[in-house]
Amino acid sequence: MLFLVVRTFLGHIEIPWSLLDGADVKDSTLRQIKDDIVRILNSSFSTISGYYQSTVSSDSHISGNSLIIQNLFSLESNVTMYDLQRSLQSYARVCETSPDRPTSCALALHLQHRVQGNAT
Contact present, 100 and 85 (Cβ < 8 Å): no
Question: Quick one: pLDDT band at residue 114, thresholds 50, 70, 90?
Answer: low
Give domain limits for the chain: 6-17+24-114
Contact present, 70 and 54 (Cβ < 8 Å): yes
Question: Quick one: pLDDT band at residue 120, thresholds 50, 70, 90?
Answer: very low
Alpha carbon dihedral 56, 89, 42, 82, in 10-degree steps, equals -80
Q: Which CATH number applies to 6-17+24-114: 2.60.40, 3.30.70, 2.40.50, 1.10.357?
A: 3.30.70
pTM: 0.77
Q: What is the pLDDT of residues 13-71, one digit of tens each?
A: 777 666 665 545 566 777 888 898 899 899 999 999 999 999 999 876 666 678 889 99
